[in-house]
């Protein structure tokens, strides 16, 4: 079938693009504005400050090249901070994902009233870092805290959770796990609901028991979700600040001095804005690389339908 | 032997998806469950598979009561409508999954998988994942996963419904060949009457959770047990004429339905008189309505003139919709006839092809 098309005057593609841009601008500008002020400008400014030394108020910038980056990368303090942050990521991401998976599996059952449990399991997502930290500050209090009380009643040894260098990081990590479990549960629950029921039925007819169904249907079906939860968890861990600031201020003996807290100290306690900026840029690159590595590793076993 | 449903009932809330359903599938038989959506056919299949629990009654596989057994203990294989292949596994592992779950030794497993793959033409695709296969290939993998275990029965839930028309016709033939070769008891669910008629050694027509008729495709087509089966099986559908029975002077029984009067044969009249029915529904298949001039010498059971409303030429035959008393009646005619929309023509129906139903109960009387 042939359709006669009347020859039409073509507007130049450039003019059409410009018109579309004018129409799109009011929709895009508000968020571009916010991003520019709170993300892009600080990012560019951090990189710029990384190459400059300043006075304590961030003025009188002097070009110092890569000196500050060299300082950061060779500093034992920064390396220790990095080590602490890595530990913190390990202590938070693995348990939060595992607990989130267990809770999501429980909440995925079709039972009367299950919605209530889904709400409870995911509720921590709605509490702020500050509120959760203060709450845990009380729970972890060596004198009047509930945790020590329970341990004591069970005949187990108690600890000074936040002032003992051995326990401070695990205690902060525990708090963070509690905060992140809600998010992990919600996302994994959504992932579970995306796995077609027919696959479970096929596996049952094929002779698979509960364990085989979990290994060959549930886990593969959840792999993209688990990747997402762990990537976001690592990023959260590398950016944690609020709970550290409230619970331990990086102590005792720097045992909880994660990178972001060390940046904060450098900038706002030592007024060394340039060095702090250099640390921030290094952190940015590390998180970028880590995420990239996670995706590369995951591409071997994550299956996207 | 084979597979048996014994008075199975399944209720979802107040709705009975299956109502006192009994069916005996012979050993090695290809049985088709056919009916409109919601008739209970899939529920019946899922109960046999163990994926649903019946509210009452029992199911038997080779005379063993399996009603309370887990699906994996029943030694059946199922082909799902959307194939339900394990997306992260390649074709080989998909086929092998059921064997691994049953701890079949590696060598035997490998041999079974390759045999099934050869049988279905999958040998070159064993390394591929389901996402890299066409719809037809996935369908064959789903079949392969069923046959590789040599189960006691195959359960198939509309396995061809996701294929295009050409592939569906082709796969139908392949399934018939496969069954002839393996001789495994097969229960096949479909809403497609062409699949039912062409594949089933016997077909079970279902409606509203009840078995309406069980028989060979030919029996069901020629002697539908009731109005539902008569209307459901056959395309284009049978036409129905409701009217009153009257005996004429010579003792012949006639059903007067508006502009058409059907004269019943002696045998039909006897059957109708036996139940002393006067209100009757006469059913006529499209291929039994012919142009009057083609009838030859025999006296027709009914003759009428009608306006030709729509003519659909399929090349090998013509489907003509005739206007009779304001409603459409379809006639299936040979393509050699010249028939034009808007013409008024004379038509006739041969006596031996009439079906007489009781409109109240729907039952076939003669």
B141 touches chain A (CB under 8 A): no
User: Would you call A108 an interface residue with chain B, using a CB distance cutoff of 8 Å?
Assistant: no
CB contact under 8 A, A201 and B97: no
Measured in Å, how far apart are chain A's first and last C-alpha atoms? 38
* Closest of A47, A87, A136, A134 to residue A257, by C-alpha: A87
pLDDT at B249 > cutoff 80? no
Q: Is A196 on the interface with B (CB under 8 A)?
A: yes
Burial, A279: exposed, middle or buried (Cβ in 10 Å; 0-12, 13-18, 19+)?
buried
Average pLDDT over residues A124-152: 83
Q: What is the rounded end-to-end Cα distance, in angstroms, of chain B?
A: 34
| Across B66-92, average pLDDT | 91
Strand partners, A53: A62
Q: Residue B205 pLDDT > 90, yes or no?
A: yes
A216 contacts in B (CB within 8 Å)? 86, 89, 97
Q: What is the pLDDT of residue B49?
A: 93
Residue A7: the pLDDT is: 54
B201: pLDDT confidence band, cut at 50, 70 and 90?
very high
| pLDDT at position B187 over 80 | yes
Give per-residue pLDDT as tens, A62-91: 888 787 888 888 888 888 888 989 999 999
pTM of the model: 0.79
Q: What is the DSSP string of B297-341?
A: SSPPSEEEEEEEEEEEE-SSEEEEEEEETTEEEEEEEETTS---T
Helix (H, G, I), strand (E, B) or coil at B265: coil
For the cut 80, the answer to whether the pLDDT of residue A191 exceeds it is yes
* Residues of chain B neighbouring A223 (CB-CB closer than 8 A): 88
Q: In the predicted model, is pLDDT for residue B336 greater than 90?
A: no
- Count interface pairs A-B at CB distance under 8 A: 66
Question: HSE on the CB side for B344, CA within 13 Å?
Answer: 4
Cβ of A201 within 8 Å of Cβ of B89? The answer is no
Residue A220 in contact with partner chain B when CB distance is under 8 A: yes
Mean model confidence pLDDT for chain B: 90
Nearest of B72, B65, B85, B62 to residue B184 by alpha carbon: B62
Q: Which of A203, A204, A305 sits opposite B87 (nearest CB)?
A: A305
CB contact under 8 A, A206 and B131: no
The verdict on A204 touching B (C-beta cutoff 8 Å) is yes
In 3D space, the residue among B40, B29, B32 whose CA is nearest the CA of residue B2 turns out to be B29
Predicted interface score ipTM higher than 0.90? no
Say how many C-beta atoms besides its own lie within 10 A of residue A245's C-beta. 16
How much is the CA Rg of chain A, to the nearest whole Å?
25
Residue located via tokens 């267990």: A102
Asked if the Cβ–Cβ distance from A198 to B82 is below 8 Å, we say yes
State the pLDDT confidence band at A1, using cuts at 50, 70 and 90: very low
| CB proximity A302 to B under 8 Å | no
A165 CB near a chain B CB, below 8 Å? no
CB contact under 8 A, B84 and A303: no
Question: Is B80 within 8 Å of A207 when comparing Cβ atoms?
Answer: no
pLDDT grade, residue A228 (50/70/90)? confident
- pLDDT higher than threshold 80 for residue A4: no
DSSP result, B58-77: EEEETTEE-TTS-GGGS-EE
Q: Are the beta carbons of A204 and B72 separated by less than 8 Å?
A: yes
**Residue B113: predicted pLDDT:** 93
Mark yes or no for CB contact B70/A204 under 8 Å: yes
Q: Is the pLDDT of residue A8 over 60?
A: no
Q: Which residues of A touch B102 (CB under 8 A)?
A: 207
Cα nearest neighbour of A224 on chain B = B88
Token pair for residue A208?
Answer: 């698979």
Q: Which chain B residues contact residue A217 at CB under 8 A?
A: 86
pLDDT of residue A11 exceeding 70? no
For residue A242, what pLDDT band results from cuts at 50, 70 and 90? confident
A27-47 tens-digit pLDDT: 999 999 999 999 899 888 888
Q: Which of B155, B142, B5, B140 is nearest to B77 (CA)?
A: B155
| Contact flag A196-B49 (C-beta cutoff 8 Å) | no
What local confidence, expressed as pLDDT, does residue B191 receive? 92
pLDDT of residue B314 exceeding 50, the answer is yes
Among A294-298, B240-244, B286-290, name the one with the lowest average pLDDT.
Answer: A294-298
């Amino acid at each position: 079938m042939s359709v006669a098309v009347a020859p039409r005057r073509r507007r130049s593609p450039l003019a059409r693009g410009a018109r579309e841009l004018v129409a799109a601008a009011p929709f895009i500008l508000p968020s571009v504005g916010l991003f520019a002020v709170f993300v892009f400008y600080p990012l560019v400014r951090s990189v710029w400050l990384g190459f400059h030394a300043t006075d304590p108020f961030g003025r009188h910038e002097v070009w110092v090249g890569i000196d500050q980056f060299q300082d950061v990368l060779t500093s034992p303090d920064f390396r220790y901070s990095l080590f602490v942050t890595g530990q913190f990521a390990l202590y938070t991401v693995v348990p939060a994902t595992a607990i989130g998976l267990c809770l999501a599996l429980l909440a995925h059952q079709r039972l009367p009233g299950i919605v209530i449990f889904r709400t409870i399991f995911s509720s921590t997502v709605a509490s702020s870092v500050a509120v959760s930290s203060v709450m845990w500050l009380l729970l972890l209090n060596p004198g009047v805290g509930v945790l020590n009380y329970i341990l004591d009643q069970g005949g187990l040894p108690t600890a000074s959770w936040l002032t003992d260098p051995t326990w401070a990081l695990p205690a902060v990590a525990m708090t963070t796990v509690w905060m992140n479990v809600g998010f992990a549960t919600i996302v994994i629950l959504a992932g579970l609901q995306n796995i077609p029921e027919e696959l479970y039925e096929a596996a049952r007819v094929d002779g698979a028991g509960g364990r085989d169904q979990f290994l060959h249907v549930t886990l593969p079906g959840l792999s993209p979700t688990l990747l997402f939860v762990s990537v976001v968890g690592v990023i959260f861990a590398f950016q944690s600040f609020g709970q550290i600031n409230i619970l331990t201020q990086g102590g005792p003996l720097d045992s909880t001095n994660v990178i972001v807290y060390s940046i904060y100290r450098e900038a706002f306690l030592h007024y060394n804005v340039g060095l702090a900026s250099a640390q921030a840029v290094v952190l940015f690159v590390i998180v970028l690389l880590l995420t990239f590595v996670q995706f590369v590793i995951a591409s071997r076993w994550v299956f996207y339908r | 032997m084979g597979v048996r449903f014994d008075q199975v009932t399944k209720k979802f809330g107040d709705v009975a998806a299956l109502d006192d359903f009994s069916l005996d599938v012979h050993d090695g038989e290809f049985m088709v469950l056919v009916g409109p959506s919601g008739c209970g056919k899939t529920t019946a299949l899922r109960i046999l598979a163990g994926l649903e629990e019946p509210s009452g009654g029992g199911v038997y596989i080779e005379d063993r009561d399996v009603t309370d057994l887990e699906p994996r203990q029943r030694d059946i294989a199922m082909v799902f409508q959307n194939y339900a292949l394990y997306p992260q596994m390649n074709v080989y592992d998909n086929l092998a999954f059921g064997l691994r779950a049953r701890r079949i030794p590696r060598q035997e497993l490998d041999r079974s998988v390759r045999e099934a793959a050869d049988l279905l033409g999958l040998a070159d695709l064993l390394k591929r994942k389901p996402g890299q296969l066409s719809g037809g290939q996935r369908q064959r993998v789903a079949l392969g996963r069923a046959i590789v275990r040599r189960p006691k029965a195959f359960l198939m839930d509309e396995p061809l419904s996701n294929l295009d028309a050409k592939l569906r016709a082709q796969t139908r033939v392949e399934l018939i060949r496969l069954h002839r070769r393996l001789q495994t008891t097969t229960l096949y669910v479909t809403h497609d009457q062409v699949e039912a008629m062409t594949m089933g050694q016997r077909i079970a027509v279902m409606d509203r959770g009840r078995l309406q008729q069980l028989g060979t495709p030919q029996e069901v087509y020629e002697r539908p047990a009731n109005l539902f089966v008569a209307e459901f099986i056959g395309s284009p559908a049978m036409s129905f004429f409701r009217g009153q029975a009257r005996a004429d002077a010579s003792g012949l029984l006639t059903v007067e339905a508006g502009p058409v009067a059907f004269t019943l044969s002696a045998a039909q009249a006897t059957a109708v008189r036996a139940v002393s029915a006067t209100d009757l529904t006469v059913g006529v298949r499209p291929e039994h309505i012919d142009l009057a001039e083609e009838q030859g010498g025999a006296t027709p059971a009914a003759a009428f003139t009608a306006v030709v409303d729509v003519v659909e030429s399929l090349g090998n035959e013509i489907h003509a919709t005739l206007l009779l008393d304001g409603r459409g009646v379809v006639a299936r005619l040979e393509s050699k006839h010249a028939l034009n929309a808007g013409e008024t023509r004379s038509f006739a129906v041969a006596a031996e092809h009439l079906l007489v139903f009781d409109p109240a109960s729907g039952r076939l009387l003669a």
